[in-house]
């Protein structure tokens, strides 16, 4: 196999217990100068700043998540670990450079792990701002719930990374995403988990003989991991937006789904009739995200997509009753891959999310 | 969101679900690889197909059929595909995805001049359609020796595989497309007797590289360059494709081609045409290829007597590479003792149009040079007056814009700046943009992009018939001159920057960029 994965990283480290943003900035410049003096092959990555606010004890877990994010590394990562009662600013700065290939360039990525106290949070922007690479987009992420810190950091944010499924109440997760949207581009991991499903539904209805059946859709069921109602709602919201449906709030089904799992159902009005909508929790699904989607049309044709190893298993039945099945190839990205995709999406701007979010919130009341 | 974007007011011809997606749907496709057991298929095409599958970028319905002379069963072919992916994929394969991909692979053994083999291919294609209940778009990828291009195309036509009422049929033809102008015209004529031009994808994998595609973006999305992009401000251009390796196991092909055919006629003239083209009306296939073809037609072919003064050939002799002894070209395995094939070529070309008249374009390509580097160096004219004290200005150099294609993809602009200190001494420094440090995404392999484009039916990054013929018209006089007596062929030691004779092509005061 030809190796294109990043070569093992070489780290340079600086730390201080009672420090200032200016001192940390100096240290980063010095680390870069030292590496560059070793070899001109070392070059600082300059694509994106990532700022994350976490409980200090959660920091190792978040760093491990970022390591699993694959090749989508931010150029400069600032992790603010919140420690109760802390008053002084502590910092650990690391510069990780890939081993230079012969004649090639070795990107270097910088990470600053800050130790901050609750006292710092209302004005955390004044700590973080001097540490950002000027002119790069900044992605702000708060896996822990620190609304005060987030409010402070919003003035620095070009994009905000959220997971609308991470809230105990999925409605709150979607509302939170909507509240952030006017100030910055929202990258929602729950939306990204449904990306392959959007692409595959679009592909399934792309043959000209199937496009007309979009107007005949009579029922849709989306099955999802019990914690991923928001992903399911966003998929329905996207369909509603793209197909011009008027949605109404979904209700808990009186007849619970399989194994007593929750089910939401309702209807949407189309130009020619109604579509029955259903969100089914699938307790058997292990990974967050969607488990399946089924679409029926008024003519009797149907399409079902189910998650499986190596891709999505597709089954189609024509109006005449002819059935066919196949697998749509694609490797599972895993949660690390989803996070990496979230970081990559910070530099892109999907025009589809906001309208889908609006419909999803309307459906979930 | 305007209502015109939604189904309510869209025509049935549109798919409202596809709008705004990062990856738009691709119609069901069966990719037929002729020469499926060959080196290119093994090292590039099959790993590219796997990576498209891994990323979910293949059409939702997809088959791959291999065809070549070797007698293989479907199972043996699948094992061969699996090994190719394991050895050459840019990422470790996911076992589930690879298994499912292999289930869609089948094999048709047969010689390319055997009508029965094409009958079996037609049956296999029909069977795939029948199984799926849908008409797959066939993409015929000719990854064979060039001598088979014409027989394969004729056989496809003879078996009615060139057109389908219910599907789009496309043919991808690898380089080299012809070995001179006459043979390229003959091959074009043969291909276009069977296929329409819109069905033909002449592949040059350089055009799938991100940096090459970025040349158009750089020029046409940045206001800073276009005012300078002409004979008033540009002094000269150097386009280099240097390799540090020798011919490896490709003696059979390479000795019949040489550096001029292998690199200059295709890759370097494509780069030159993109560099010099006028802004197209849109960055779609027709307008882009129109403008590239105009550039190639603006290059007046050399007269026979001009060739010695404007083109230099050479071949590598024994030397050192990576600190170890390296054989000369004539000592390489499989190279005939009396070979007159060049492994290095340098030429001065001129684009005779309003924008570029008088600007020399120096092209250079070779094997066993000091290092691998493919780049375009645009050198601006010097400033009209230097107001520095004598000596202080010794570091002043004309600005250069360097577009690096490989191995480091990026753009660099040299600027003269003051050296810190009390005196006003100056030296050039570089402003650099590197793909490896500026983006979060890894560039896909060129073949991934190009194979996907053939399945999408987008020929923008493929050469049209008139482009290919115009490029051959540029190099044909050189080939003719060298094909005769041509005189002795200079030698350069392996591991060096090439022959000194190449320096004579340059205007006074100009040097080749260091490799």
Series of mean pLDDT values for 10-residue runs along chain A (365 residues): 46 91 93 87 89 92 84 86 93 90 84 94 94 93 84 94 90 92 93 95 89 93 95 97 95 65 90 93 91 95 95 93 92 90 88 96 91
Residue pair A287/A225 in contact (Cβ under 8 Å)? The answer is yes
pLDDT of residue B112: 94
- Separation of alpha carbons B28 and A216, rounded Å: 23
Tell me which chain B residues have a C-beta less than 8 angstroms from the C-beta of A203: 25-26, 59-60
The lowest-confidence range among A224-228, B405-409, B444-448 is B405-409
Closest Cα of chain B to A68: distance in Å? 14
Q: How far is CA B186 from the centre of its chain?
A: 22
The lowest-confidence range among A327-341, B16-30, B187-201, B378-392 is B378-392
Tell me which chain A residues have a C-beta less than 8 angstroms from the C-beta of B22: 195, 348, 350
Give chain A's largest Cα–Cα span. Answer: 74
Among B323, B437, B438, B441, the residue to mutate for chain A (most A Cβ within 10 A): B437
Q: Which residue of B has its CA nearest to A44?
A: B437
User: Could you tell me which residues come within 8 angstroms of residue B38 by beta carbon, excluding any fewer than 6 positions away?
Assistant: B68, B143, B144
B336 touches chain A (CB under 8 A): no
B515 touches chain A (CB under 8 A): no
* Interchain proximity B442–A4, CB inside 8 Å: yes
Instruction: Give the confidence band of B151 by pLDDT, cuts at 50, 70, 90.
Output: very high
Upstream peptide bond of B258 is cis (omega within 30 degrees of 0): no
> pTM (2 decimals)?
0.90
Closest Cα of chain B to A18: distance in Å? 32
- Separation of alpha carbons A119 and A133, rounded Å: 25
- Separation of alpha carbons A251 and A234, rounded Å: 16
Tell me which chain B residues have a C-beta less than 8 angstroms from the C-beta of A103: 371-372, 407-408
Q: Which residue of A has its CA nearest to B372?
A: A103
Among A74, A331, A350, A352, the residue to mutate for chain B (most B Cβ within 10 A): A331
B83 touches chain A (CB under 8 A): no
The closest alpha carbon to A162, from A146, A148, A149, A180, belongs to: A180
Tell me which chain A residues have a C-beta less than 8 angstroms from the C-beta of B89: 1-2
B408 touches chain A (CB under 8 A): yes
B447 touches chain A (CB under 8 A): no
B412 touches chain A (CB under 8 A): no
> The complex's ipTM?
0.89
Is pLDDT above 50 for B9? no
Helix (H) or strand (E) holding B222: none
- Separation of alpha carbons A166 and A247, rounded Å: 24
Q: Which residue of A has its CA nearest to B3?
A: A244
Average pLDDT value over all residues in chain B: 92
What is the rounded average pLDDT of the residues B312-320?
A: 96
* Interchain proximity B440–A207, CB inside 8 Å: no
pLDDT of residue A46: 87
Tell me which chain B residues have a C-beta less than 8 angstroms from the C-beta of A211: 12-15
Instruction: Give the confidence band of B11 by pLDDT, cuts at 50, 70, 90.
Output: very low
Scan residues 123-162 of A and list those with Cβ closer than 8 Å to B.
Answer: none
For chain B, the residue count is 515
A334 touches chain B (CB under 8 A): no
* Interchain proximity B438–A47, CB inside 8 Å: yes
Q: What percent of chain B has pLDDT over 90?
A: 81
Q: How far is CA B149 from the centre of its chain?
A: 18
A223 touches chain B (CB under 8 A): no
B17, B24, B132: residue with CB nearest A242 = B17
* Burial readout B85-102 (b: 16 or more C-beta within 10 A, e: otherwise): beebbbbebbebbbebbb
The closest alpha carbon to A144, from A79, A208, A75, belongs to: A79
Closest Cα of chain B to A346: distance in Å? 10
pLDDT of residue B202: 97
Tell me which chain B residues have a C-beta less than 8 angstroms from the C-beta of A352: 20-21
Q: Which residue of A has its CA nearest to B55?
A: A330
Residue B93 has what DSSP assignment? P
B8 touches chain A (CB under 8 A): yes
Scan residues 25-54 of A and list those with Cβ closer than 8 Å to B.
Answer: 43-48
* Interchain proximity B439–A351, CB inside 8 Å: no
- Separation of alpha carbons A270 and A245, rounded Å: 5
- Separation of alpha carbons B57 and B19, rounded Å: 16
**Parallel, antiparallel or unpaired: strands A274-281 and A185-188:** unpaired
* Interchain proximity B21–A352, CB inside 8 Å: yes
A212 touches chain B (CB under 8 A): yes
The closest alpha carbon to B15, from A236, A238, A328, A243, belongs to: A243
Residue pair B497/B316 in contact (Cβ under 8 Å)? The answer is no
CA angle B252, B319, B314 (to 5 degrees): 55
pLDDT of residue A272: 82
Taking the CB of residue A173, how many other CB atoms lie within 10 A of it?
Answer: 22
- Kindly list the catalytic residues of B: 267
B56, B371, B372: residue with CB nearest A329 = B56
**Parallel, antiparallel or unpaired: strands B170-173 and B137-142:** parallel
Q: Which residue of A has its CA nearest to B135?
A: A207
The closest alpha carbon to B460, from B230, B191, B280, B339, belongs to: B280
pLDDT of residue A256: 56
Scan residues 148-207 of B and list those with Cβ closer than 8 Å to A.
Answer: none
Scan residues 86-105 of A and list those with Cβ closer than 8 Å to B.
Answer: 101, 103-105
pLDDT of residue B1: 32
* Interchain proximity B58–A329, CB inside 8 Å: yes
* Interchain proximity B18–A43, CB inside 8 Å: no
Scan residues 231-270 of A and list those with Cβ closer than 8 Å to B.
Answer: 239, 241-244
Is pLDDT above 50 for B487? yes
Question: pLDDT of B344-354, one tens digit each?
Answer: 999 999 999 99
Closest Cα of chain A to B59: distance in Å? 8
Is pLDDT above 50 for B15? yes
B27 touches chain A (CB under 8 A): yes
- Separation of alpha carbons A115 and A60, rounded Å: 13
pLDDT of residue A169: 86
């Amino acid at each position: 196999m030809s190796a294109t994965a990043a070569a093992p990283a070489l780290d340079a480290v600086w730390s201080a217990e009672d420090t200032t943003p200016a001192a940390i900035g100096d240290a980063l410049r010095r680390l870069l100068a030292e590496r560059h003096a070793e070899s001109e092959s070392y070059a600082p990555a300059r694509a994106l700043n990532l700022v994350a606010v976490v409980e200090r004890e959660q920091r190792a877990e978040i760093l491990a998540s970022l390591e699993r994010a694959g090749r989508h590394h931010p150029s400069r990562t600032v992790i603010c670990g919140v420690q109760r009662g802390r008053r002084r600013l502590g910092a650990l700065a690391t510069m990780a450079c890939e081993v230079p290939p012969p004649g090639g360039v070795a990107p270097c990525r910088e990470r600053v792990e800050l130790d901050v106290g609750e006292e710092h949070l209302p004005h955390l922007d004044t700590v973080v701002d001097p540490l950002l690479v000027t002119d790069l987009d900044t992605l702000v992420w708060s896996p822990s719930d620190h609304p005060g810190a987030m409010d402070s950091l919003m003035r620095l944010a070009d994009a905000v990374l959220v997971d609308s499924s991470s809230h105990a109440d999925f409605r709150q997760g979607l509302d939170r995403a909507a509240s952030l949207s006017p100030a910055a581009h929202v990258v929602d991991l729950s939306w990204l988990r449904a990306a392959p499903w959007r692409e595959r539904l679009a592909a399934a209805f792309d043959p000209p003989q199937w496009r007309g059946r979009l107007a005949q859709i009579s029922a849709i069921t989306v099955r999802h991991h019990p914690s991923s109602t928001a992903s399911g709602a966003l998929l329905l919201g996207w369909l509603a937006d793209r197909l011009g449906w008027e949605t109404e709030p979904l209700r808990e089904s009186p007849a619970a789904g399989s194994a007593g799992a929750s089910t939401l159902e309702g209807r949407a009005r189309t130009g020619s009739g109604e579509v029955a909508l259903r969100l089914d929790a699938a307790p058997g699904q292990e990974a967050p995200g969607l488990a399946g989607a089924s679409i029926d049309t008024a003519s009797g044709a149907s399409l079902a997509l189910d998650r499986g190893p190596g891709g999505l298993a597709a089954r189609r039945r024509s109006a005449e009753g002819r059935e066919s099945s196949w697998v749509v190839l694609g490797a599972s990205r895993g949660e690390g891959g989803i996070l990496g995709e979230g970081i990559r999406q910070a530099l892109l701007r999907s025009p589809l999310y906001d309208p889908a979010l609006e419909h999803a919130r309307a459906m979930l009341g | 969101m305007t209502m015109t974007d939604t189904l309510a007011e869209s025509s049935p011809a549109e798919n409202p679900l596809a709008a705004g997606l990062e990856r738009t749907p691709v119609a069901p496709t069966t990719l037929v690889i002729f020469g499926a057991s060959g080196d290119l298929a093994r090292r590039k095409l099959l790993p590219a197909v796997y990576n498209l599958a891994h990323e979910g970028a293949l059409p939702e319905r997809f088959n791959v059929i291999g065809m070549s002379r070797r007698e293989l069963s479907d199972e043996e072919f699948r094992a061969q595909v699996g090994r190719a992916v394991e050895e050459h994929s840019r990422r470790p394969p996911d076992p589930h995805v690879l298994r499912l991909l292999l289930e869609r692979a089948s094999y048709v053994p047969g010689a390319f001049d055997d009508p029965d083999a094409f009958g079996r291919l037609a049956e296999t294609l029909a069977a795939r359609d029948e199984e799926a209940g849908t008409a797959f778009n066939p993409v015929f990828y000719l990854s064979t020796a060039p001598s088979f291009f014409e027989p394969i195309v004729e056989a496809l036509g003879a078996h009615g595989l060139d057109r389908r009422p219910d599907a789009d049929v496309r043919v991808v033809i690898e380089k080299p497309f012809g070995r001179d102008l006459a043979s390229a015209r003959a091959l074009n004529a043969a291909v276009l007797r069977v296929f329409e031009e819109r069905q033909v994808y002449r592949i040059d994998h350089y055009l799938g590289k991100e940096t090459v595609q970025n040349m158009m973006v750089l020029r046409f999305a940045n206001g800073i360059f276009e005012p300078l992009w002409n004979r008033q401000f540009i002094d000269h251009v150097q386009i280099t494709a240097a390799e540090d390796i020798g011919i490896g196991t490709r003696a059979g092909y390479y000795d019949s081609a040489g550096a001029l055919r292998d690199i200059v006629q295709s890759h370097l003239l494509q780069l030159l045409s993109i560099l010099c083209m006028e802004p197209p009306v849109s960055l779609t296939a027709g307008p882009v290829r129109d403008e590239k073809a105009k550039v190639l037609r603006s290059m007046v072919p050399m007269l026979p007597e001009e060739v010695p003064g404007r083109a230099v050939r050479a071949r590598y002799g024994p030397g050192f590479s990576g600190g170890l002894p390296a054989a000369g070209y004539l000592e390489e395995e499989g190279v005939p003792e009396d070979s007159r094939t060049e492994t290095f070529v340098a030429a001065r070309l001129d684009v005779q149009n309003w924008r570029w008249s008088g600007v020399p374009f120096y092209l250079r390509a070779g094997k066993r040079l000091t290092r691998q580097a493919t780049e375009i160096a645009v050198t601006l004219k010097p400033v009209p007056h230097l107001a520095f004290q004598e000596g202080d200005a010794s570091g002043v150099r004309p600005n250069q814009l360097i577009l690096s294609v490989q191995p480091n993809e990026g753009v660099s602009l040299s600027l003269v700046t003051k050296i810190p200190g009390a005196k006003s001494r100056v030296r050039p420094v570089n402003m650099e943009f590197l793909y490896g440090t500026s983006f979060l995404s890894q560039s896909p392999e060129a073949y991934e992009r190009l194979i996907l484009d053939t399945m999408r039916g987008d020929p923008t990054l493929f050469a049209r018939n008139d482009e290919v013929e115009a490029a051959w018209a540029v190099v044909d006089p050189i080939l003719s001159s060298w094909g005769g007596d041509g005189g002795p062929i200079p030698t350069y030691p392996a591991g060096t920057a090439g022959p000194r004779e190449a320096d004579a092509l340059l205007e006074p005061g100009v040097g080749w960029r260091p490799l």
